[in-house]
């Protein structure tokens, strides 16, 4: 009797979205370390007139990642919108399955680049294929939509943070082992082969699970909008758990603006951080890169614990402000980092930096009907992608121009944008946000 019960429990767990989240993030963290080290290796001999060898290497790396990241943010826009529409019409697995195919193909492309010593620019083509599948822009809202629709409004913030917790834990494990796996090599093939093979296998397994096992809760368009609630305008300590008369447009706009500003700050800083640690005086190896990525993943765990601790005393708006303040202080300190020890001290100040985005998504999901959750969350993700089209080249060029006199200037700039992002959040509960525009379900 025990074995059938255990098998049934295991089968039930495998039919949830959580195993897919874990497998995908494990594979992605391995890929991220591999890509970072492959680009470093291919940029070692880069030369530019009038600048030093190290500055030339930094410029070559930042130029590559600028182009690559612009591609994987711009190309998915139309595919992600199409997949979101399919999701809201009842095909909830589409935004998860299709992007996972793109994940597998892009990881395979990097493996071929390493094995056959192909130009690293081949990854630009892989980025296009990845984007046409919807990429992370479609995948993550798809995951969040399933998590959102499977929870009540009062528990939604906690559920979404649990998703972030699983994501971060998987990233932590993957990052810790990624550097060591990168060092394993065959004399005929070189570094990174084992790492990429494991990454591809994890994504294949994830794809199989999403096609064959994933169970999806269907939501009818005629279903009462019991999962959608308005923000409280009478108290800063709780959200009103009652159906809204319509969409609170002002709150939605403020939440979008805060998310875009915060994403601009975080994305711009992290975009440069991966290259920053590879230059002197840090000059990290593959193993240290993995540990540094793991430090970033620890923030998922501390942010989850922060939500559990603070949500008893503070509203969701205050949670967002606490998280933003945590990131602003840590990234400001990062401006002056010159040793590995100082790097980890700076990251320790970011303990609650991941609270804002899932909390903002949770509040947004409470402003719209359940049948529109997928489109709303995907619209936010697309807005963040468009912000990336601005901050990626901006932060890259600023970093290149300040590399000689103040490499950490971009981190100080990121701190300033984070403070600006706190302003619209504070106004979510002001009387002006009582303005509603009601949309009839019949339209």
> What is the average pLDDT value for the chain, to the nearest integer?
83
Share of the chain above pLDDT 70, in %: 81
Compute the distance between CA of residue 123 and CA of residue 106 in angstroms, rounded to an integer: 8
Give the contacts of 26 (CB within 8 A, at least 6 positions apart). Answer: 170, 171, 173, 174, 202
Identify the residue whose tokens are 């930094």.
58
CATH 1.20.1250.20, applies to 249-430: yes
- Mean pLDDT, rounded, for 408-412: 96
Measured over all CA atoms, what is the biggest interatomic distance in the chain, rounded to whole angstroms?
75
- Mean pLDDT, rounded, for 200-228: 72
Does residue 373 surpass a pLDDT of 90?
no
Q: SS3 for 51?
A: coil
Structure tokens, 380: 């936010």
Q: Which of the two residues, 43 and 232, has the higher pLDDT score? A: 43
Compute the distance between CA of residue 121 and CA of residue 361 in angstroms, rounded to an integer: 35
Position 236 scores a pLDDT of 39
Does residue 163 surpass a pLDDT of 90?
no
C-beta separation of 178 from 197 below 8 A: no
How sure is the predictor about 87, in pLDDT bands with cuts at 50, 70 and 90? confident
Query: Can 10-215 and 249-430 be said to share one CATH topology?
Result: yes
Q: Which of the two residues, 292 and 188, has the higher pLDDT score? A: 292
Structure tokens, 145: 């939509």
Cα–Cα distance list, 351 to 165, 263, 305, 413 (Å): 13, 17, 10, 20
Identify the residue whose tokens are 């793991």.
294
How sure is the predictor about 3, in pLDDT bands with cuts at 50, 70 and 90? low
Share of the chain above pLDDT 90, in %: 48
C-beta separation of 359 from 316 below 8 A: yes
C-beta separation of 38 from 114 below 8 A: yes
Nearest alpha-carbon partner for 440 in 374, 369, 370: 369
Compute the distance between CA of residue 349 and CA of residue 299 in angstroms, rounded to an integer: 10
Structure tokens, 63: 């130029």
Q: What residue spans define the domains of the chain?
A: 10-215, 249-430
Position 335 scores a pLDDT of 96
Nearest alpha-carbon partner for 142 in 75, 96, 102: 96
Question: For 425-437, how does the pLDDT look when each residue is reduced to its tens digit (9 = 90+)?
Answer: 887 755 443 444 4
Cα–Cα distance list, 50 to 47, 53, 275, 310, 403 (Å): 9, 10, 21, 52, 14
How sure is the predictor about 112, in pLDDT bands with cuts at 50, 70 and 90? very high
Query: What is the DSSP-derived secondary structure letter of residue 283?
Result: -
Topology of domain 10-215 in CATH is Growth Hormone; Chain: A; (1.20.1250)
Compute the distance between CA of residue 146 and CA of residue 153 in angstroms, rounded to an integer: 13
């Amino acid at each position: 009797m025990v074995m059938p019960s255990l098998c049934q429990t295991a089968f039930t767990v495998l039919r949830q979205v959580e195993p897919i989240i874990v497998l995908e993030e494990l594979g992605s963290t391995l890929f991220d370390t591999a890509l970072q080290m492959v680009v470093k290796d291919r940029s070692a001999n880069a030369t530019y007139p009038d600048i030093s060898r190290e500055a030339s290497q930094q410029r070559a790396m930042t130029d590559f990642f600028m182009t690559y990241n612009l591609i994987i943010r711009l190309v998915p826009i139309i595919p992600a919108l199409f997949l979101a529409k399919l999701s809201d019409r009842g095909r909830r697995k589409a935004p998860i399955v299709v992007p996972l195919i793109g994940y597998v193909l892009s990881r395979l492309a990097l493996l071929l680049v390493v094995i056959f010593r192909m130009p690293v620019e081949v990854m630009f083509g892989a980025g296009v294929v990845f984007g046409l599948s919807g990429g992370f822009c479609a995948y993550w809202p798809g995951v969040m939509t399933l998590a959102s629709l499977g929870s009540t409004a009062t528990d939604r913030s906690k559920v979404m943070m649990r998703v972030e917790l699983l994501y971060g834990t998987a990233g932590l494990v993957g990052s810790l082992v990624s550097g060591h796996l990168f060092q394993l090599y065959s004399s005929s093939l070189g570094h990174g082969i084992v790492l990429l093979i494991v990454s591809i296998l994890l994504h294949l397994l994830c794809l199989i699970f999403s096609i064959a096992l994933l169970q999806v809760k269907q939501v009818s368009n005629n279903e009462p909008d019991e999962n959608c609630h308005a923000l409280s305008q009478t108290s800063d300590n709780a959200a009103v758990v009652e159906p809204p008369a319509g969409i609170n447009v002002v709150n939605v706009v403020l939440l979008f603006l805060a998310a875009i500003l915060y994403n601009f700050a975080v994305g711009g800083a992290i975009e440069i951080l991966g290259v920053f640690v590879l230059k002197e005086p840090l000059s990290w190896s593959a193993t240290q890169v993995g540990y540094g990525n793991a430090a970033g993943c620890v923030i998922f765990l501390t942010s989850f614990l922060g939500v559990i601790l603070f949500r008893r005393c503070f509203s969701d708006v205050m949670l967002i402000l606490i998280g933003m303040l945590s990131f602003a202080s840590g990234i400001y300190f990062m401006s002056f980092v010159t040793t590995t020890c100082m790097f980890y001290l700076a990251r320790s100040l970011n303990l609650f930096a991941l609270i804002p985005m899932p909390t903002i998504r949770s509040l947004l999901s409470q402003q719209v009907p359940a049948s529109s959750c997928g489109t709303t969350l995907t619209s936010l993700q697309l807005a963040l992608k468009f912000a990336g089209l601005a901050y990626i080249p901006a932060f890259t060029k600023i970093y290149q121009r300040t590399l000689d006199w103040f490499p950490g200037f971009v981190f100080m700039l990121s701190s300033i944008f984070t403070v600006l992002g706190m302003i619209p959040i504070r106004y979510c509960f002001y009387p002006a946000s009582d303005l509603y525009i009601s949309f009839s379900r019949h339209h």
